[in-house]
Structure 1
Amino acid sequence: MPKKEPSIGYYLIALLHEAGLIKSVWTTNFDDLCRDAAIKTNNTVIDINLDSVERIIRPMSNEELLLVKLHGDYKYGPLKNTDEELLKQDEIFRNRMVDYLNDKHLIVTGYSGRDQSVMDALKESYSKKGSGRLYWCGYGHIVPQPVQELLELARKNGRAAYYIPTDGFDKLMISLAKVVCLNNQPLTLKFEEYLKGEKNLLVRTPFKIEKARLVL
């Protein structure tokens, strides 16, 4: 089977990293699409998984894109038939995620919240007061119950949390990149180059943040 090529959304993640908008990517996917896109666009990516857990506590650099592979319930769930060292590594990942989101904004896309373990970690983070906002970009207008509960929990603890209906990952990345690169000529040229052959994704779709009452 031929290796799958990254879609435009992954290339635009790399572009948004160059623009300073995206510092890290936390994914439950097993593929290497994000890493491959970063490498092909000459971005330095730090790939982190259970085999390289020590990298997650290294000082962050603006020149590096942090790619953390969570792997869903395999990552955060009750690990069985594993040694003590692996369990400790898993706890380091969880604690780092909880602390990381305290003062950093999180954009969720392409994820429905089905992994109970990942959602538990997010709930732990947003049950604490902090300055990091949550933008849950779902597909369509129907908000899954676990997502609604997370948004309400975050707001209850004074955190800004929004559900944003979208038409999918690639179109969301195009919308973000179009705005971020607007006044940056070098990035605009890269953006336009990536868009070649993607005309079917350029149909304008509604994009708005629903107003939310914050409980402070």
Structure 2
Amino acid sequence: MIANPSDVRNLLESHYFLFAFLSSLGTLQIAVTGSGIRALWLTPYRRVTRWLGFVCIITGVLFFFGQPLFVDGPWAAGSVQADSTTRAWGVASWDELAGARNVNDIHGGLDGVDQAIWFSLAAIIAFSVSVVFGALSIKANTKELRVDAKLDDDDIDGLAGLVHRSYFSNLPISVRNFRLEARKFWRDGVRSADRWSLIKIISGGSNQ
């Protein structure tokens, strides 16, 4: 059976999306456990969450590159070394595994734009999953975190706030503080800059 480009593209898109999702999720978990941002942990426990991150990355890599061995696709044994237009549909052999996914984009492979779109979508979903599970993780550790007085400090926002609060609880505080800081900067910063305006300096109107 000759591989149909549309079938090839649909198959590769689903495989690449899962690979990008697991890799993004795993990388994010390793990063947030290292920095202590509990609001994005998949579990309430640092060590478990970190190991889960490594498992996600390894699973994604093995799944993506090893899948041609047990899933039918445009990499049937004996056809991988042939031109993309003559790829046969089937399971790849070990000898041809390295080139199994090397399919030209005009024959159903993923070009750079497709990869960028699917990777971005996978990364966003991985972050969203981390936010949801992180909220549950924070809730499970509420009693432990309440011992820390910083939990109720509204001056702590942004990434620092995610150490003690869920993303949903931290976002309104961060937005409010950002607005206050923006107003303060606009009021004081612009006024300070106006004192040093070239026209005032030349005319002697500057107070400095």
TM-score by length of 2: 0.22
Task: State which structure, 1 or 2, has the greater radius of gyration over its C-alpha atoms.
Answer: 2
Which structure carries more strand by proportion? 1
Greater length-normalized contact order (CA 8 Å, ≥ 6 residues apart): 2
